[in-house]
């Protein structure tokens, strides 16, 4: 899945899409993680989850974002994954 596909939602104005893309670029620059590295992490996460469950790859949304730490309100990078699970596999 193309990492920038998450911005292809139909009900967003081009202004909002551009704003979200700029945020993504800034987060990547601040975190010093390359898009290739993020794709490798994403691939590893998908492989691990697939061992335990069937997933909806079309609904995948894995992205890097900025958030504030609860303890001291300092900004930090966060990897956020939304992986829709279709069915959990047998746990034998």
Q: Which of 32, 41, 35, 40 is nearest to 21 (CA)?
A: 35
9 confidence band (pLDDT: 50, 70, 90): very low
Residue 2 within any structural domain of the chain: no
The predicted structure's pLDDT at residue 37: 81
pLDDT of 7 over the 50 cut:
no
Residue 53 within any structural domain of the chain: yes
Residue 6 within any structural domain of the chain: no
pLDDT of 18-67, one tens digit each?
Answer: 777 776 666 656 666 777 887 888 889 899 999 999 999 889 888 877 78
Residue 8 within any structural domain of the chain: no
Residue 61 within any structural domain of the chain: yes
Identify the residue with better confidence: 26 or 13: 13
Residue 1 within any structural domain of the chain: no
What is the domain range of residue 35?
A: 13-88
The predicted structure's pLDDT at residue 92: 64
The predicted structure's pLDDT at residue 1: 45
Residue 71 within any structural domain of the chain: yes
Residue 77 within any structural domain of the chain: yes
Which phi and psi (to 5°) does residue 91 adopt? Answer: -100, 45
DSSP state of 70: T
How many domains is the chain partitioned into structurally? 1
């Amino acid at each position: 899945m193309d990492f920038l596909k998450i911005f292809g939602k139909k009900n967003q104005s081009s202004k909002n899409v551009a704003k979200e893309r700029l945020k993504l670029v800034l987060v990547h620059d601040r975190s010093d993680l390359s898009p290739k590295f993020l794709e490798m992490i994403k691939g590893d996460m998908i492989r691990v989850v697939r061992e335990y469950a069937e997933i909806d790859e079309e609904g995948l949304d894995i992205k890097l974002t900025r958030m504030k730490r609860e303890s001291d309100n300092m900004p930090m990078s966060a990897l956020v994954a939304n992986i829709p699970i279709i069915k959990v596999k047998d746990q034998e």
